[in-house]
A and B are shown apart, each in its own frame.
Chain A
Amino acid sequence: MTESVSQPPPASMSVVPPGAAVAPGAASAVPVTGAGAADVVVAAREGPKHKKAGREPGERSGRRQIGRRSWWGAVFATPHSLGLAIFTVVPIVASLVVSFMNWPMLGEHSWTGLDNYRKLFSDQTFWIVARNTVEYVVLYVPLNLVVSLGLAAWLTPRIRHRHIFRVLFFIPTITPLVANVVVWRMLYQPDGFIDATMQSTIGVNAPNFLADGTWAMFAVVAMSVWAGFGYNMLIFSAALDAVPDNQLEAAQIDGASAWQVFWRIKFPAISPSIFFATMMTLITSFQVFTQPFLLTKGGPGTETETLVQYIYNTGFQTQQLGLASAGAWVLFVIILGITAVQFLGQKRWVHYE
């Protein structure tokens, strides 16, 4: 693991300028966000190649070569394209179609046009869960970034046994969420670790975190940050290692403080990684499901019910697959919109060399 970490950050791969080299192993260094990250990398790789092929000089022999080359290209791309088609494109298109239909899990399907969307937007619960999801994102994303960036900044090569710390911090990310939830339940529940500690030290009962409306969302966010910061920390840590020493030395010779070195040199240098991490964290946090579903089942009331759980409940409990698909598309548009805004806004603060 440490070897791939010391590579240039995979983060920058996704946003490298056209023509820049893509380090091998970039895709394998982003295991957690799976398909999402991998596709970013692939798109970045494939883009410039096509352009380059198009600009090839139009010699006669060259043209045949291009034909043959692109044929081989297609062959090599087939495994991934097939996977993309079967597991991503087909379900997406199918869900779009289903979202315009009344599609109970068993029984007759029929076209309903925009009815599902109308139903969705007039459902009070939908707006509540949308607000909950935004609440979660607003709490979770900054916390995750601050914690992971802070720890990455602390884990400089000067720290002894930094590899051990890295592994320790990464463990929550690779342990199954279900197992994490079981442990966190024991911390949160009445007479659990937190409650028992508070009783024995200050003699006050802790709130019933998971069953109390004012605390439940915070409890879910805290658990999620603990379980999720390791991945971003690794990206930041690798990016920080790649900041050229001569720049840091130059800054030190000029008399820059550690604070200035971090904000004026390191931060701009790793801004592509931060941008990548922010984007991926935002996408996954809009899709949050496991933590609240397992910790609170969306309760108390609807306090921690998120958009994806709403989609799940609509699909698998009330068994209205059309309505559930419409919900999934609304979530998709939200994520697409926010991601687009981020890409537009990156000019202001992301520096590519």
Chain B
Amino acid sequence: MKRRLLVSATAAAAALGLTLSGCSSSGGTSGQSKDKLTWSMWISGSADKAAWQKVADSVKTAGGAKVTIQGAPFEDYFTKLRTQLSTGSAPCIVSMQSLRAANYTDVLLPLDSLAKKQGVDLSQFDSTALDALKVDGKIYALPYDTGPMLLFYNKDLFKQVGAKAPEPGWTVKEFETAAAKFKAAGKKMLGSAIGDMNLESMILGYNGGRVIKEDGTLDPSDPKFAKGFDWLGSLVKKGYATQASSDTSVAGNDFVAKKVAMYPDGPWSLLDRKGKANFDIGITTIPVGTAGATPSTYSAGSGFGISKQCKYPDQAFQAVKTMTSQKVLKGLAEQGRAFPGRTAAQQPWYDNANIAGVEPVLKAAQKASTPLPGNKQSDQLQQLFFQYGIQAVNGQQSGAQTMKSIAGQLQK
């Protein structure tokens, strides 16, 4: 009997061991040196990886260090990064998204003095992009891309159902009129998306409601934001929009598969979608509740920063400088990877996009946008949107109830 208990204890202990050690991250980066640096980046596929590999190689070509990419899918990127930074195996070069920068100021090096030392002309960067990566006036990353949240739409389907093509600056009323046309034709116009940027931009455009205030503090009690949730729920209920899914890729996939005619996304994915879709793709601004209301959408950007633990900040900055240079960003623009964070590299992106009307729409959207501020709880908020936001959009709970549940979880 005793031995059997021992056996059971061993089994359970081993089982616990699995629970605890199952999540450990792999791949230390202690092998960095002056001419060998590691760069952590979100990678979404082999084509993506090839494009970023080119960026990494450009550093060596420019006489800098050999840069090795350490990739993770975007969804897991920040979880993994946190763990790495806490265990001392930090990569020197760290990719950072603007709305998460505030969460990482304790582990990232402010770049202002390095930029001065190495003679980087910051005025050549798109000011929205650069500002988005500043926290308390200090720059934590040099931007490689930027962009406001937009709506992508299927021009062919709009023609087919006889809906008027959306003009930049269109209103919620016009949006719903078009959606009704789709409904009459037995189709759903909008693909619901509950990722933080998508959701928060749609609600900001609708009534100005926001869950993260301008100064970056969380305010889940904003009644306007809850109302915005109810509006998104009403779109589903009326048959204008699909039910939301906790899988972020559903709306985009439905769009490419012509199951929906419209969904929110940013310029960073436009050319990828254009390549996959076999229809005429268009972009427009997020609909506004009251005509002329600004800001009516959020912008975000990403850039490259340097971890505080990095022993070779000068070399790392040199690499970042090359990776955000006009030449490299132009190359990325031509491949359609990113809407460049440098003003002078944006024209090649427009030329390459080759979509009628893309330039005025993007410029109008940028004008109407405000950076989505970061907060230490941004990642948790995103997770809570996946769990609870889905209930509000699918009409199982009111926006107010949903935000109450989210607030309860955030206070922990």
A residues with CB within 8 A of B: 14-15, 18, 34-40, 42-44, 47, 87-88, 91-92, 95, 105-107, 123-125, 185, 189-191, 208, 210-213, 279-280, 283-284, 287, 296-302, 305, 308, 311-313, 315-319, 328, 331-332, 335-336, 339-340, 342-343
Chain B nearest Cβ from A235, distance in angstroms = 15
CB contacts (< 8 Å) of A284 on chain B: these are 15
Given A211-B244, A343-B8, verify A297-B107 contact (CB < 8 Å).
Answer: no
Partner of A43, one of B7, B246, B409: B7
Could you list some 24 contacts between A and B, CB below 8 A?
A: A15-B4, A39-B13, A43-B6, A43-B10, A47-B3, A47-B6, A47-B7, A87-B17, A210-B246, A211-B243, A212-B394, A212-B396, A213-B396, A297-B383, A297-B387, A301-B387, A301-B388, A302-B387, A308-B19, A316-B79, A316-B82, A332-B13, A340-B8, A343-B8
Q: Would B7 and A328 count as touching, CB distance under 8 A?
A: no
Given A91-B20, A211-B390, verify A283-B15 contact (CB < 8 Å).
Answer: yes
CB contacts (< 8 Å) of A339 on chain B: these are 8, 11-12
B250 within 8 A of A: yes
Q: Would B247 and A185 count as touching, CB distance under 8 A?
A: yes
Chain A nearest Cβ from B250, distance in angstroms = 7
B185 within 8 A of A: no
CB contacts (< 8 Å) of A38 on chain B: these are 14
Chain A nearest Cβ from B17, distance in angstroms = 4
Give bound CA distance, A297 to B386, whole Å: 7
Q: Would A316 and B83 count as touching, CB distance under 8 A?
A: yes
Q: Would A190 and B242 count as touching, CB distance under 8 A?
A: yes
CB contacts (< 8 Å) of A210 on chain B: these are 245-246
Give bound CA distance, A305 to B13, whole Å: 23
Q: Which of B19, B243, B390 has the most CB of A within 10 A?
A: B19
Per the 8 Å Cβ criterion, residues 19-57 of B in contact with A are: 19-21, 23
Give bound CA distance, A135 to B18, whole Å: 22
B85 within 8 A of A: yes
Give bound CA distance, A69 to B8, whole Å: 28
B273 within 8 A of A: no
B106 within 8 A of A: yes
Count chain B residues whose beta carbon lies closer than 8 angstroms to a beta carbon of A: 50
Main secondary structure of the interface of A (DSSP, over half): helix
CB contacts (< 8 Å) of B86 on chain A: these are 105-106
CB contacts (< 8 Å) of B391 on chain A: these are 211, 213, 299-301
Give bound CA distance, A211 to B79, whole Å: 25
Q: Would B13 and A88 count as touching, CB distance under 8 A?
A: yes
Q: Would A44 and B16 count as touching, CB distance under 8 A?
A: no
With both beta carbons as reference points, the residue of chain A lying nearest to B86 in the complex is identified as A105
Chain A nearest Cβ from B2, distance in angstroms = 10
CB contacts (< 8 Å) of A44 on chain B: these are 7
Q: Would A317 and B6 count as touching, CB distance under 8 A?
A: no
Chain A nearest Cβ from B258, distance in angstroms = 12
Give bound CA distance, A106 to B90, whole Å: 13
B379 within 8 A of A: yes
Give bound CA distance, A300 to B15, whole Å: 28
CB contacts (< 8 Å) of B242 on chain A: these are 190
B367-411 vs A: 1/0 string, CB under 8 Å? 000000000000110010011101100101100000001001100
B276 within 8 A of A: no
Q: Would A88 and B14 count as touching, CB distance under 8 A?
A: yes
Q: Would B23 and A106 count as touching, CB distance under 8 A?
A: no
Give bound CA distance, A210 to B4, whole Å: 41
The 9 A-B pairs with the shortest beta carbon distances in the complex, nearest first, are A299-B387, A88-B17, A297-B386, A332-B16, A297-B246, A36-B14, A35-B14, A39-B14, A105-B86
Give bound CA distance, A91 to B24, whole Å: 11
Given A299-B388, A301-B391, verify A343-B17 contact (CB < 8 Å).
Answer: no
Q: Would A105 and B396 count as touching, CB distance under 8 A?
A: no
CB contacts (< 8 Å) of A313 on chain B: these are 380, 383
